[in-house]
A and B are shown apart, each in its own frame.
Chain A
Amino acid sequence: MPDPCVKSTWSLILAACLLLAGSGSAVPAQGPEITNVIEEAGIDPIRIAVPTAATSAGAVTFARELVETIRDDLAFSGYFSLHYTEEEALQNAAAGGDPDFAAWLATGAEALLLIQVRLADERYSIDVRMFDPAGRSRILHQRYGGSADLVRRLAHQIADEILGSYDGLTGIASTTIAFISRHGNAKELYMMDYDGRRIRRMTDTGVINTTPSWAPVGDRLALVSWRNKRQLFYIIEPDGTFRTVPILAGELNTSPDWSNDGSKMLYVTTHDHPGNAEIYALDLSSGKNRRLTYSPTIDTEPDFSPTGRQIAFTSDRSGGPQIYTMDPEGTNVRRVSKSGSYNSSPAWSPSGDRLAWVSRIEGRHQIVVLDLNSGTLSRLTRGNWNHENPAWSPDGRHLVFASNREGVYHIYTMRADGGNIRQLTTGVSGETPDWSR
């Protein structure tokens, strides 16, 4: 059964505003739903063989975890698929110098990663070589070192460098996803590694916390919390302390979003008019607040573009929730979503050339993405479930989102073309995820 308590951020804000305004008149108009969506072609991943590492005495356990993590990272990327073979003879043959390219090619491997781990004085030395069997060439050769407790971090670093060697982008294996999970009547902040490992609870407030938003640098994030019996913004520092954000607070305060340079924060409040949520910008260094929208309807879910020169947001000024953009001064408002009666939760891609949001299609909330270069709108998710709150990975290759496809809401990731959907949370539910930058 879908969890009836978890709804889109837009729905929650609408409900809260109606309650605050004491009116039920703002019913979104029904319009035609999106039908002109285009299915993205999938990506055929590279078949990479990552044999068991050659190890010295005492390094077996470390090497096993290292290789497993690297395999997971590469498979997660969606750009590689793991290629298994009867590898032992090949591995032994490869241990000394260049591998037997012809033999590896014959197995069907398109790339080969050979790892050697040595232990000396409680320090592990890792030698990583990547080969192209067809081209009979070495693509990458790196050496790493560290203690046992760094094994996952080292593995993530290696995976990131492998991905970077293919297209020059920074990998995401060392990133963290923040999300909210329900505990009885409370909602607490959680974090996990990008691949769903190491899920850990970060708050124990016993109240409702929502919409975590990572700062662009450092380990800080903004959070909306009722911890002081009033819905306010806090910045959670890396040491776990809460710091109040000096916003113009109203009855409803939500949707914090940092600018990419960390100097400003967008937020939504009913400060000026109860029942009418508007978007404001806070200059974090001066503490000055500036109102950006003046619509008599609801404006919410602001999201800075990577350059900071545009803000995407959701507004029902045309009768139902639609996606708009404006400049950071609040002028030049334009409607971006052209079809469908319900569009919300916009999210700019890190490169600024794509905008993802949630669109109601055939009665369900699906994630779509607009390519600003071509003007093409593509549908990324499907099925008889809801998909909410998309957020991009820092490399723009993936999206994280919440979905009730398993009955209750969980956190999932997918490639930016909609492929390789993976459930990250197990044991705890998940909503409103945000990916560290």
Chain B
Amino acid sequence: MNRIPLRLVLSAAIVLALGSTGCVLPDHIGSLQKDISDVRSRIDQIETDQQASIQRLEALVREMDEGEDAPTRADFADLKLEIQDSTRKLAILEEQFRDTNGRLDGQSRDLQEALALLRNNPGQAPHALEGGAGPQESETREDNAFMAAGGQAVPDAEGLYNAAYADYSKGNYPLAVSGFNEYAERYAGSDLADNALYWVGECHYSEGAFDRAIGAFDNLLEKFPETDRAASANLKKGLAYLEMNDIRKAVVQLKYVLENFGDTDEARMARDTLASLGVPAR
């Protein structure tokens, strides 16, 4: 049974932050990224609370000025305590945020090192370990993770992809870009590598960084010319040019989609978009 702690969940989060295992566990990066996201939300909430306290303070001062229903010294004392408490919580959370961020950076470095070790020691590749021995074997299998030569586990492919996608869905675009790029680099031969690169473009598009989105879609199309995301990526390039108000390039790109991706939904969308621009499809 899950247990909700009586004290603030914040305390548990601090314990979590302090309780670093010192090794890179499966999906640990994703978990840390989630921690960061949660801490950000809490900081926002506390800042909102603080603003409310300040507004109440201003109201009390106004009441005092107007001489009606005059606030007591206790009212001010309580409010002061409240603001002090919020400030303290904020400081703790900011510290936790820095700490978690630092751990994320550290674990990313660890991952890079583990990767380098794997590349240099192909005998330690994941599948080679399936029949191997060692104290962490059963845990490794259970977590669907694999072990680096140094005995450190790195996130499994699915965990890394899911974490990046969850970040995208929550609007944490920089973290999602980092995760998808990492996936595409580490699992370049996997079925989802082209999808990961597509998501990188989508993240930039979602941020409104349309020039970077075009660059990311170009990168996808260069690395995976046969990707099943080609129609979407090309259409998205055209829409990105439109967003940048570069109508000439947008029209060229949309016509390219129309001519090269025949009977696809993307071609139909390109046709409709061209029509909305007053440009004949043919």
Task: Decide if B221 is an interface residue (CB 8 Å cutoff).
Answer: no
**CA separation between A46 and B8, bound complex, in Å?**
12
Question: B265 contacts A373, CB within 8 Å?
Answer: no
B78 CB-CB contact with A under 8 Å:
yes
Instruction: Contact check, B4 vs A166: say whether CB atoms are below 8 A apart.
Output: yes
A295 to B8, CA, bound (A): 49
- Interface residue from A43, A110, A295, A352 paired with B169 (Cβ < 8 Å): A352
In the complex, what distance in Å separates the CA atom of A190 from the CA atom of B9? 37
When distances are taken between beta carbons in the complex, the residues of chain B under 8 Å from A141 are 78, 81
- The complex places the Cα of A79 from the Cα of B162 at a distance, in Å, of 28
Assuming A43-B1, A132-B6, A309-B206, is B272 touching A373 (CB within 8 A)?
no
Contact with B along A337-352 (1 / 0, CB 8 A): 0000000000010011
Query: Knowing A168-B46, A294-B268 touch, does A44 contact B9 (C-beta < 8 A)?
Result: no
Q: Is A263 an interface residue (CB 8 A)?
A: no
Tell me if A165 counts as interface (CB < 8 A to partner B): yes
Decide if A329 touches B236 in the complex (CB within 8 Å): yes
- Does chain B have a CB within 8 A of A169? yes
Write out the residue numbers on chain A whose beta carbons fall within 8 Å of the beta carbon of B165. 372
Q: Which of B4, B169, B268 contacts A353 (CB 8 A)?
A: B169
Within 8 A of A (CB), among B129-150: none
Kindly state the interface size class of chain B when it binds its partner: 35 or more
Q: Are B6 and A46 in contact (CB under 8 A)?
A: yes
CA distance A167 to B2 in the complex (A): 15
Chain B min CB distance to A101 (Å) = 13
CB of A220 to closest CB in B, whole Å: 24
Given known pairs A353-B170, A372-B165, A373-B166, the reply for A168 and B78 (CB within 8 Å) is no
Q: Given A168-B42, A169-B45 in contact, is the A352-B171 Cβ separation under 8 Å? A: yes
Interface residues of A in 139-168 (CB under 8 A from B): 141, 143, 164-168
**Separation of A351 and B268 alpha carbons in the complex (Å):** 33
Query: Which secondary structure characterizes the binding site on chain B?
Result: helix
A143 contacts across to B, CB distance below 8 A:
75, 78
Residue of B at shortest CB range from A135?
B7
Within 8 A of A (CB), among B1-19: 1-4, 6-10
Bound-state Cα–Cα, A331 to B78, Å: 54
Which of B6, B45, B78, B171 is most buried by chain A, counting CB atoms within 10 A of its CB? B6
- Best-surrounded residue of A291, A305, A374 (most CB of chain B within 10 A): A374
Taking CB atoms, residues of chain A closer than 8 Å to B159 are 374
Q: Which residue of chain B lies nearest to A80 when distances are taken between CB atoms in the complex? A: B4
Alpha-carbon distance between A374 and B27 when the two chains are bound, in angstroms: 9
Q: Would A164 and B162 count as touching, CB distance under 8 A?
A: no
Set of chain B residues within 8 Å of A246, measured between Cβ atoms: none
Query: When the two chains form their complex, are residues B158 and A375 in contact, meaning their CB atoms are under 8 A apart?
Result: yes
B182 located at the interface, meaning its Cβ lies under 8 Å from any Cβ of chain A in the complex: no
CB distance from B89 to the nearest CB of A (A): 9
Point out the residues of chain A lying under 8 angstroms from B236, CB to CB.
329, 331-332
Question: C-beta contact mask, A363-400 vs B, less than 8 Å → 1, else 0?
Answer: 00000000011110000000000000000000000000
How far is B4's CA from A41's CA once the two chains are assembled, in angstroms?
13
Q: Are A306 and B171 in contact (CB under 8 A)?
A: yes
Bound Cα distance from A294 to B269, whole angstroms: 8
Bound state CA distance, A294 and B268, in angstroms? 8
Closest A residue, CB atoms, query B195: A334
Given A143-B75, A373-B34 in contact, is the A329-B269 Cβ separation under 8 Å?
A: yes
B41: interface (CB < 8 Å): yes
B265 CB → nearest A CB, Å: 4
C-alpha gap A307/B176 in the complex (Å): 14
- Does A291 contact B169, Cβ atoms closer than 8 Å? no
Check if B10 sits within 8 Å of A168, measured CB to CB. Answer: yes
**Cβ 8 A contact of A373, one of B45, B46, B163:** B163
| Closest residue on chain B to residue A329 by CB atoms | B239
List residues 201-240 of chain B with CB under 8 A from any CB of chain A: 202, 205-206, 229, 231-232, 235-236, 239
B267: nearest chain-A partner, CB-CB: A294
Contact status of A331 and B232, CB under 8 A, knowing A352-B170, A353-B170, A373-B34: yes
Pair B9/A110 contact, Cβ less than 8 Å: no
- Report A-chain residues with C-beta under 8 Å of the C-beta of B41: 168
Are the C-beta atoms of A307 and B2 separated by less than 8 Å? no
- Whole-angstrom CA separation of A305 from B170 in the bound complex: 9
The answer to whether A407 has its CB under 8 Å from any CB of chain B is: no
- Point out the residues of chain A lying under 8 angstroms from B2, CB to CB: 41-44
Q: Are A305 and B169 in contact (CB under 8 A)?
A: yes
Which residues on A sit within 8 Å (CB–CB) of B78? 141, 143
Interface centre among B7, B34, B159 (most CB of A within 10 A): B7
**Any B CB within 8 A of the CB of A293:** yes
Offer 20 A-B interface pairs, CB within 8 angstroms, sorted by A. A79-B4, A111-B6, A135-B6, A135-B7, A168-B45, A295-B265, A305-B169, A307-B169, A307-B171, A307-B206, A327-B205, A331-B231, A351-B170, A352-B166, A352-B170, A372-B162, A373-B34, A373-B162, A373-B166, A375-B158
User: Residues on A close to B: CB < 8 A?
Assistant: 41-46, 79, 110-111, 132, 134-135, 141, 143, 164-170, 290-291, 293-295, 305-307, 309-310, 327, 329-333, 348, 351-353, 372-375
Given A327-B205, A329-B235, A353-B170, list of 15 further CB < 8 A pairs?
A: A43-B4, A143-B75, A166-B8, A167-B9, A168-B41, A168-B46, A294-B265, A309-B206, A332-B236, A333-B265, A351-B170, A352-B169, A373-B30, A373-B163, A375-B162
- Ranked nearest first, the 8 interchain pairs of A and B with the lowest CB-CB distance are A307-B171, A331-B232, A372-B166, A294-B265, A352-B169, A373-B166, A352-B170, A309-B206
